[in-house]
Structure 1
Amino acid sequence: TSPHRIPDNVPRDIPWVGRHDELRRLTAALCEGNGTSAAVVTVEAIDGMGGVGKTAMAVHLAHRLRDRFPDGRLFLHLGGHASDRDPLPATRALAELLRLLGLPPKELPQDLDELVSLWRTTVRDRRMMVILDDAADTGQVRPLLPGDSPTAVVVTSRRRLPGLPGVRPVSLDVLPRDDAVLLFERRVDGRCVTRRAEVEEIILRCGHLPLAIEIAASRLLSRPSWSTSDLLDQLTAGSAHLPELRDGERTLRHVFDLSCRALTPPQRLVFRRMGLHFGVEFGPHAVAALAGLPVEETDRILEELLSQHLISEPSPHRFSMHDLLREYARSLYDDDALEPEGEVRKAVRQLMDHYVQVADRADRMAYPFRSRIPLDAEGTPAATGRRTGPEITDAHAAERWLMTEGANLLDTLDWIRQNGPESQLAQAVHVLAGFLDMEGHLVAAEPLLRRAVAHWRSVGDGAARARALLDLSAVHTHSGAYEEGIAAAREAQDIARTLQDGELESEAIHQLSIPLWQTGRYALVRSLQQHSLSYLVQTEKTLQTARVRNLLGIAHLHLGEKVEAVECFVAALAGFTAEGDDRGRYRTLNNMAELFRKNGDPEAAEKSYREAIELSAGMGSRGDHATLQINLANVLTTLGRPDEALALFGRALPVLRAVGDRQGEGIALNGIGRAHRIAGRGEQALPQHVAALAVLRDIHAEGEVVDVLYDLARVELDTGRMAQAVAHMEQSLSISRRIGARVEEERASRGLEAVAAARLSGTPNWH
């Protein structure tokens, strides 16, 4: 994240009044140490009561102390006491916090410990305030604490949170009478006829609860002809209640009922249906799908509900409901006469269909190479010819929609997993497979994709099963499980051949080739890609043909077939350029730079890498950008600029570790070793090469292991470790021969000659 970008997603329009003693205590606790060490405070509710103003106090503090925490303010709702969904898991909470700081979700690690480490590293030197709103328990919060950092944390919860290190708890009760009166009067702002005695009776009926007072004041504002006397009459008329918010005989349900009765029938429908949404935040198209209304009408109703403070708009065109109002809206369905159960189920299905249908459109633009299973559920907008959701016109808009709705898409998938048939789950996980893979949700994706494969097998749909296997193979490959990825892709290829589906077979071949390439089976990759190319050149699929030529060029490059590699890369670059695919362009430029490097032209390689980096800066992933950086750093080492190279490695290595790119991590470690060796620091180089070898052997990245063994042997010879140098150079030669890496084989042969010469002369002669 740029140091000039100040993240601040703290809500703005939350009223505040009174509670000066609690505010002073919290301010003192947060500012202890003048921002040099972490401070943790909790704002808790006495007797577990909701709506007492915990969030309002935390938000008020964030804005009041903004100058003391100049690196930003973050707000995250943990959903600890929502009645309709589970609390936010620590892994998803950490991923959201890191996303708010600018780290792309698809490049975050999956393991909780790794996420905790990345979070604490990211905020180590930041003076920020983080609000963790509505925490469920200590276990949910503990991983989110920043550790040794000047970042301050404010946790709100309805319960005590024992066991948090260094925590300063502050408990809130309902408002004192004078503060409650002031809150009401500030909200109505003199626009209604008020009498002090009547206001005091109103706040008494609201139990002095800030949320209830807010809603009562909004109710009064919505009826310009009313006075406080009229409002008081209404408040004393009802008898229903929300049991958990009782204050003697007075309840918040009175106020909710009053506000709901004042709504028009369309407003009541939208309000009720919003209570069925499972997410914390959502857009107008989702609400329109729930309500079965046109989005234009839904937008107007949402604006009306906003004016009555029944919903909030935390960011433009994104809406949410307070948990208590959501619970109230859902409770309205207890009256069977209000809406038949069948209508409620239909509304939820419409919401599921909305997310799946729009995700399908977005996926086709964001990940155009995927081989798709047709989406044909009866009754969906696609089946009826009615399209819901925003217009998505290009790949960038598609990626933005997928990221914005990421949490809701995960919740959609989880709802279908628990409530839908296997056929619906199999289709939904296929639609979201590209999103799950690229956004880093590999742990969630793998078991669901296995279920999808099993479903398509059980119903005898071979084409769908093959595509589900390709989804599974991609997830295995990106998580480093190369052999599992190979097995799944080969099974998909066999099915495609049986079906005599050339397009599907081509996709299976491409997916199969990726883990084969990662494990050094270059000759097989070449053969497979040549077969795929012979099919694609007969079609008009320019992007797919360019992608095949790029991968075929990589195989030629590793096999020492440089002329053929050049031809493939030039043709691939032309294809990607013609289609306006910048991602394909910078990946091909990266491979061309590698060709220049192996041809002994590091200056041309540097130029090509820099062009690729410039292209990737605006649209590539953080992982891609880091990979290009380490490739450029390796060339800078060759050009005799090791310190410049080490600076690049230092920026790229943490990113590669954060995104779980173990192959990239190994390459970077080896490059750091090479840079130290070039700088004459052999003893510093050795541990870097050894660490790289361990990482790459663990994932069976044979092509990279060859390079590390060679570089390790060189530094061992430089530092007088002759026996180890011979052993490692021989291993590099043996593996090179086995995988058919001719350039590396010749290099290792020359290396052994240099070792022999060094034994005679006492000085290595590398060439």
Structure 2
Amino acid sequence: MAVELGLLGEVTAHVDGRAVELGTPRQRCVLAALAVDVGRVVPAERLMQRVWGADTPRRGRATLHSHISRLRQVLPAADGVEIVLRSGGYALVVDQEVHAVDLHRFHDLCARARGTDDDRQRVALLTEALALWRGEPLTGLSGEWVHAERDRMRQEVLAAGHDLVDARLRVGHGEELVAELSVRTAQYPLDERAAGQYLLALYRAGRSADALEHYQRLRERLVEELGADPGAPLQELHQRILAADPTLSAPPGSQVVEPVVVARQLPAAPPHFTGRDTDLAALTATLDTARQGRMVVISAIAGAGGIGKTWLAVHWAHKQRVQFPDGQLFVDLRGFSPDSEPMAPTVVVRGFLDALGVEPGRIPVEPQAQAGLFRSLVADKRMLIVLDNAAHAEQVMPLLPGGDACTVVVTSRRTLTGLVTRHGAHHLTLDTLSSDEARTLLTQRLGTARVTAEPEAVAQLVDLCGGFPLALGIIAGRALTHPRAPLAVFAAELRDLGLGALEDDDPATDLPTVLSWSYRALTTEQQVVFGLLGIAPGPDISLPAAASLTGLPPALIGKVLRGLEEASLLGRDAHGRYTMHDLIRRYATDHSAHDLTGGQRDAALRRVTDFYLHTAFAADRLLDPHRQSIELAPPCQDYHPRLLADQDAATAWLTAEHPNLLAAQRLAVEQGMHTAVWQLAWALDTFHNRQGQPHNRRAMWRAGLAAAEFLGDATTCVLAHRLLGGISLYTGQHDEAVENLTRALELAEHIDDRLAQAHTHHVIARVWEEQEQDQRALHHAVRALHLFQGLDQPVWHAIALNAVGWMQARQGDYEPARAHCEAALDVARTHRLHHEVEAATLDSLGYIAHQTGHHTTALSHYEHALTLYRDLSETYYAADTLNHLGDIHHALDLHDQARSAWQEALELYRAQQRADEADRVQQQLDALDHKPLS
């Protein structure tokens, strides 16, 4: 196997072109400390000094051995690389040592260049040597030895660069070196060797005046800073330029050697890259699959600004660099730049030709010809081309290479659909970091000690940043510049100031500014919808709700939402619901406040509230068509209703929209839409009751009561007090139940509402039943029955008959109890009432049959009742019936069936937070476990 170890950049290891995961920075440092002396023994003490310096741990040898053991596991010893123990030290043994380690390959090429008299060969060797450098050597490592070794390597590459320029000057180069040497002299302003090369290149480019001016500036600086004139060689060159010495020109007839240029344009690898394992694996899998089919690979990474697209692309590119021996091209297309237009493809192509070493004289004038030359040059090369920050697919398409050997990675805030459909690009949407990944990122930036010292503050930061890498990076940067400030301070700022806490002097790391670049690229219509989505109630939104919010037809709003999704400002889940990241939503809300009028916002909120209210009302009518209805005001003009086909569709819609419906009521409270407040509570009451959600029922009806009192609506106040009393009953708060029900009965009698009185007596009966005051409960149940009988209310007549029968059964009066319950069942079936009345009555008859020894009849009643409850998605009363069903199974010695029924009842009671019932069932299960299985 071919083994390659990299030190001239991030410390890496590749086996047959595949990256090997080396573990921690400390383990990479151990490998580097061995690799610089590959093949030679490094004493253990020297190795520890290199890795830890003065901070060597107390058990340094043991820790060192642990790191080496880890490296031995990941480096395949049988295939040409091995770490061996020899006479008190360790040695890294690699087949073909010079070629396996890039640093030693660099040294070998430089030595061969110095040993030849052929300047053309020297240019080729030194060009190849310098192409091995991938940025900062030993990237990501720290320590005294690392800093010293890195400085030494920098000096070596500088010397090799000087040698290469000298060789190129000797073979006749001049003008084409000017740009390169201008940068070098700016980096090393007092380096006389670089200055001399620059003077000669300028002279050969016909810029003698510029050469003389540069010499004068250098002389003045040397005198000012060092108190010395330039050295003799530079002074002599200056005189020869003044005299226009003909020997300084390129030798007559000399052939300029075209150096072998291998482009290495990747930016430095991100120093604190975290997570993204799934995304990295997806990119690699795409590369592997395409290689098998011999096709050009295009991966399009999409995501919001600041989500980490560039970091992912560059990190992956560095990991896979060995797969692309012919070079790597990189360009920022500036698709969403604050200070310039997106870069034209023609400009990019011209820059790529320069990077590929094409002489200016060989570059065609016509842009199309330049593009053709570019495609020809890279057609058969294994190159990686990273096109970062693309504005749209049209900007990218002219930059795609010919042939099938290259790989292209594109990043953009937009979904580049054109690349996917026309060029088979593999689309990858980048999401936020997980909570664990976000915490790891903060730990890498701030250190373990600081993060573990404030776990609560770190948890708040992770939550408030929502896994947004740029937000986490900004907070970490602030914390690093204020090392004594508690992390809780930054969490408080982020909580109180929102996006304002993520502003920065650098536009590239200022989250509001980064998001503004995407916002400015939207159409006016998209900007308006974006702002309205920021103030919409709830965590997500459906297409019909968005249509009502914006007042746009569904077909048009769908197009606008797709545009926002393509701009990575909006997400869509597997169910087609649209979502916004919390930080993007804050940005949208801010824009809504500044860019939309109060009238626009208010109208939008009324429309979306109407949508939720009227659709929830329609859903409730499907769930319980016999329930006494209320009258809604007509909806807004631009309201777009959601049509529901049947009871299952109603339950599904209420389940999906439940968080938004709760938020819609809170919005109605804030906006002073008092009628909508209590009507939303009414519209969700059946659903909440059947789903066993008493706490949500209570919260909505408390808001509903306050709204009714504000409106002075006595009838609604009675309703709210009665329902709150019933809810308190279910949650075991008997005093509160009695207080609300007493108030409801007083108000109902005051306004002479006999129907409300009947309903209230019915609930009061349940309160006394719960407190085991059965006689008082029966009194109110009979009172409710008498009232319902005179009101032509067949549903509630049946319910009241069942309630009286149930109260009688609890007191042991089974015959009159059975008679009342059978009469209730007859009324329900005669009038074809909804199944809930029938199910409750069957449950009562099951109890009566159980208590009178008719177990088979009881079993039939309970099973029938349970089936009806399940058809209704009624989980609250289903839990009670399951409990009763377990009782009858237990009485029949069917212990497996009893256990199954009680276990399901226990799960429902716990989900409904009915602690007392759950405890009783758990005791029954515990007792059953001591019996043998049937």
Counterpart of 1:590 in structure 2 is 843
Aligned mate of 1:468, from 712, 720, 725:
720
Structure 1 pair 253–592 and aligned structure 2 pair: CA distance change class (3 A):
closer
* Contact 2:693–2:912 (8 Å) recurs in 1: no
Structure 1 pair 397–549 and aligned structure 2 pair: CA distance change class (3 A):
farther
In structure 1, give the amino acid aligned to 2:605. Answer: V
How far did 1:315 drift?
A: 2.6
Counterpart of 1:203 in structure 2 is 389
Tell me the secondary structure at the aligned position of residue 392 of structure 1: coil
In 1, Cα distance between the equivalents of 2:571 and 2:658? 20
- Matches for 1:239-638 after TM superposition, within 5 Å: 243=503, 246-247=507-508, 252-253=514-515, 255-257=517-519, 259-260=521-522, 263=523, 266-303=525-562, 305-306=564-565, 309-323=568-582, 325-333=584-592, 336=595, 339-366=596-623, 374-376=631-633, 382=634, 388-420=640-672, 425-435=677-687, 439=691, 442-443=694-695, 446=698, 449-450=701-702, 452-454=704-706, 456-457=708-709, 460-577=712-829, 578-579=831-832, 581-638=834-891
Structure 1 pair 222–354 and aligned structure 2 pair: CA distance change class (3 A):
farther
In 2, Cα distance between the equivalents of 1:510 and 1:62? 62
Q: Which runs of 5+ in 1 are unaligned?
A: 1-18, 26-51, 66-133, 135-157, 160-169, 225-240, 377-381, 681-767
Residue 412 (structure 2) pairs with residue 214 (structure 1)? yes
How far did 1:281 drift?
A: 1.6
How far did 1:493 drift?
A: 1.9
In 2, Cα distance between the equivalents of 1:589 and 1:572? 10
* Contact 1:637–1:674 (8 Å) recurs in 2: no
How far did 1:554 drift?
A: 0.6
Structure 1 pair 215–544 and aligned structure 2 pair: CA distance change class (3 A):
same
Residue 314 (structure 2) pairs with residue 176 (structure 1)? yes
In 1, Cα distance between the equivalents of 2:840 and 2:750? 33
* Contact 1:543–1:579 (8 Å) recurs in 2: no
Structure 1 pair 316–216 and aligned structure 2 pair: CA distance change class (3 A):
closer
In structure 1, give the amino acid aligned to 2:416. Answer: S
* Contact 2:691–2:874 (8 Å) recurs in 1: no
* Contact 2:804–2:820 (8 Å) recurs in 1: yes
Tell me the secondary structure at the aligned position of residue 654 of structure 2: helix
How far did 1:328 drift?
A: 4.8
In 1, Cα distance between the equivalents of 2:911 and 2:503? 46
How far did 1:588 drift?
A: 1.9
1:256-310 deviations in Å (ceiling 9; x for gaps) = 14530xx3x5444433322332433211121112111233433344345545655
In 1, Cα distance between the equivalents of 2:282 and 2:779? 61
In 2, Cα distance between the equivalents of 1:212 and 1:413? 44
Counterpart of 1:664 in structure 2 is 917
How far did 1:631 drift?
A: 1.3
Structure 1 pair 420–432 and aligned structure 2 pair: CA distance change class (3 A):
farther
* Contact 1:587–1:612 (8 Å) recurs in 2: yes
How far did 1:595 drift?
A: 1.0
In structure 1, give the amino acid aligned to 2:618. Answer: R
Structure number with greater CO (CA < 8 Å, separation at least 6) is: 1
Structure 1 pair 550–307 and aligned structure 2 pair: CA distance change class (3 A):
same
1:530-585 deviations in Å (ceiling 9; x for gaps) = 33333434455332222222212212222333333223322333444453633333
In 2, Cα distance between the equivalents of 1:272 and 1:661? 42
Structure 1 pair 555–284 and aligned structure 2 pair: CA distance change class (3 A):
same
Tell me the secondary structure at the aligned position of residue 293 of structure 1: coil
* Contact 1:550–1:588 (8 Å) recurs in 2: yes
* Contact 1:630–1:671 (8 Å) recurs in 2: no
How far did 1:641 drift?
A: 4.0
In structure 1, give the amino acid aligned to 2:802. Answer: N
Give the superposed CA RMSD: 4.9
* Contact 1:281–1:320 (8 Å) recurs in 2: yes
Structure 1 pair 307–603 and aligned structure 2 pair: CA distance change class (3 A):
same
How far did 1:469 drift?
A: 0.2
How far did 1:587 drift?
A: 2.4
Tell me the secondary structure at the aligned position of residue 413 of structure 2: helix
1:501-546 deviations in Å (ceiling 9; x for gaps) = 2222222222222222222233333333333333434455332222
Tell me the secondary structure at the aligned position of residue 572 of structure 1: helix
Structure 1 pair 455–594 and aligned structure 2 pair: CA distance change class (3 A):
same
Q: Which runs of 5+ in 2 are unaligned?
A: 1-17, 25-271, 286-302, 319-328, 336-343, 353-384, 393-408, 423-499
Counterpart of 2:325 in structure 1 is none
In 2, Cα distance between the equivalents of 1:669 and 1:325? 46
In 1, Cα distance between the equivalents of 2:653 and 2:705? 27
Structure 1 pair 216–447 and aligned structure 2 pair: CA distance change class (3 A):
closer
In 2, Cα distance between the equivalents of 1:178 and 1:62? 11
In 1, Cα distance between the equivalents of 2:836 and 2:515? 55
1:653-676 deviations in Å (ceiling 9; x for gaps) = 343233222453355256457758
1:626-656 deviations in Å (ceiling 9; x for gaps) = 4323212222332344565345434433432
In 2, Cα distance between the equivalents of 1:596 and 1:62? 63
In 1, Cα distance between the equivalents of 2:838 and 2:416? 56
In 2, Cα distance between the equivalents of 1:350 and 1:362? 18
Tell me the secondary structure at the aligned position of residue 572 of structure 2: strand
In 2, Cα distance between the equivalents of 1:59 and 1:543? 58
Tell me the secondary structure at the aligned position of residue 390 of structure 1: coil
In 1, Cα distance between the equivalents of 2:887 and 2:786? 35
**Percent of pairs identical after alignment?**
19
Counterpart of 1:762 in structure 2 is none
In structure 2, give the amino acid aligned to 1:566. Answer: R
* Contact 2:899–2:928 (8 Å) recurs in 1: yes
In 1, Cα distance between the equivalents of 2:669 and 2:571? 30
Structure 1 pair 389–54 and aligned structure 2 pair: CA distance change class (3 A):
farther
In structure 2, give the amino acid aligned to 1:176. Answer: V
- Matches for 1:24-173 after TM superposition, within 5 Å: none
* Contact 1:483–1:515 (8 Å) recurs in 2: no
Tell me the secondary structure at the aligned position of residue 578 of structure 2: strand
In 2, Cα distance between the equivalents of 1:519 and 1:183? 76
* Contact 2:389–2:412 (8 Å) recurs in 1: no
In 2, Cα distance between the equivalents of 1:486 and 1:63? 64
How far did 1:343 drift?
A: 1.3
* Contact 1:569–1:591 (8 Å) recurs in 2: yes
Structure 1 pair 568–678 and aligned structure 2 pair: CA distance change class (3 A):
farther
1:675-726 deviations in Å (ceiling 9; x for gaps) = 589889xxxxxxxxxxxxxxxxxxxxxxxxxxxxxxxxxxxxxxxxxxxxxx
How far did 1:205 drift?
A: 9.8
Structure 1 pair 608–440 and aligned structure 2 pair: CA distance change class (3 A):
closer
